[in-house]
Amino acid sequence: MTRLESRSGPSGGSPPSHELFVCGRLCLLGEHSDWAGGFRSENPDVPTGKCLVLGTGDAGLHATVTADAPGSTLEFASTDDRGVRRERRFALDDPAALALEASEGGFWSHVAGTCLHMVTDAPRADLTNRALARRGLRIVNHRTTLPVKKGLSSSAAVCVLIARAFSVAFGLGMDAVAEMDAAYAGERRTPSKCGRMDQACAFGPGRPVLLTFDGADPAAPVRVEPLLEIGADLHLVVADLELGKDTVAILRNLQRAYPSHGDDPVFEGVHRLLGESNHAFIETAVDAIARGDARALGRAYADAQAAFDASAGKASPAELAAPGLKRCLRHPKLAPGPGGCVLGGKGVGSQGDGAVQFVCDGEEGAARCAEVLAQEFGLKAMRITVRKTADARDERERETRRTIA
């Protein structure tokens, strides 16, 4: 659900402010297949990409947005997950400066790249520029509860926040898919070679969503299928490993296998991993979620991780060695088995030593998993519960009643 509240200023005539929340995105299964599916335009033998994603609950970006900055400018203030504040002003009527900033990489490149898209190539860009001529945009990201550079789409969340801020401030009426497309177009103006999965954070926390990617960016549509059947509550635990990884290098090394593997056995393995093997893991997971079978979902996690290590690990050995991730997954207290708290685990996002996720044996198993991560590794865990369908429907109905009241 998108959290959005509006309120007028004290005088009643000042622009309303909007309180926005953009969560992160947890990829349950299918990492890297989003951009791989984009190569179908060049090589139709490449299978479609399929990713199973979930919003990160309350972990995300909280911001206040108003259209009261000087005309044709963006004033952006951001407080990161460690409480560090940073501020910049962008001239939105200077596309060349925006393009240069976007090309330089880093946090501000994502802001500049999405702004550039919104004022040049986005639908209704003319309307946006006419509105900006009168009043610029001020965004204060006053609280961030999402770890950065850990495979949870922190940079994509920034891009979605920018697109959503433009939409609500200037009445553009963008839905989640339009926000996702705009955020992706903005991020692609940066050095990042991300696929289209990351921006699924635009759909907000809630139900797991199956995304299918077929064709080259940015014109190829993304098929979005929320999972309607969830047989039982599922308990996930995610933890920032507090180490480091080079996402750009991982993407560069894996993308060397495309559009054609050229009979190279390593590249052929990457194609198989992100194609037919990924389809099988996704099918197994969707079925397990529909039946509420946490053990089957945990086995899918473990099998997918083993396949990833065996294939992707050969294509990017230094970046995907991930000793911290492997120590976590192989710890005796976190290994799947009789009487254990964990049913299966894997890496997150682009993988590497960014973050780890586990399917746990019920609520008690999730609590125990979080305790082990804290005691044995000094890590702070994020617990996410995927509610069975009936419970989720009841919660949505209660929220609707509260909103109406």
Span 274-328, pLDDT tens digits = 999 999 999 999 999 999 999 999 999 999 999 999 999 999 999 999 999 999 9
Q: pTM value?
A: 0.79
Task: State CA 320 to chain mean position distance.
Answer: 20
Model confidence over 106-137: pLDDT tens digits? Answer: 899 999 999 999 999 999 999 999 999 999 99
Task: Tokens 């919104």: give the residue.
Answer: 118
Whole-number Å distance between alpha carbons of 264 and 184: 31
Query: CA geometry: angle at 96 spanning 95 and 98, to 5°?
Result: 65
Cα angle, residue 279 at apex, residues 381 and 212 outer, rounded to 5°: 80
209: its two tokens: 């969503």
Chain region(s) in the chain for CATH 3.30.230.10 = 3-226
DSSP H stretches of helix in 15-91: 33-38
Q: What is the DSSP string of 168-218?
A: HHHT----HHHHHHHHHHHHTTSS----SSGGGGGG-SSS-EEEEE-SSTT
User: What CATH architecture does domain 234-392 belong to?
Assistant: 2-Layer Sandwich (3.30)
Domain(s) labelled CATH 3.30.70.890 in the chain stretch across 234-392
Give the model's pLDDT for residue 220: 59
Residues with Cβ < 8 Å from 59, sequence gap 6 or more?
A: 23, 24, 145, 146, 147, 152, 382
The predicted model gives 204-214 an average pLDDT of 87
Residue 2 has pLDDT above 70, yes or no: no
- Rounded to the nearest angstrom, the gap between the alpha carbon of residue 140 and the centroid of all alpha carbons in its chain is 21
- Residue 210 pLDDT > 50: yes
Lowest mean pLDDT segment, chosen from 22-31, 206-215, 315-324, 393-402 = 393-402
At 13, the pLDDT band (50, 70, 90 cuts) reads low
Neighbours of 388 (CB within 10 A): 16
Q: Given the DSSP bridges, would you call strands 17-29 and 222-226 parallel, antiparallel or unpaired?
A: unpaired
Whether the Cβ atoms of residue 199 and residue 176 lie closer than 8 Å to each other: no
The 10s digit of each residue's pLDDT in 228-280 is 899 999 999 999 898 988 888 999 999 999 999 989 999 999 999 999 999 99
CATH C-level class of 3-226: alpha beta
In tens, the pLDDT along 351-390 reads: 999 899 999 999 999 999 999 999 999 999 989 999 998 7
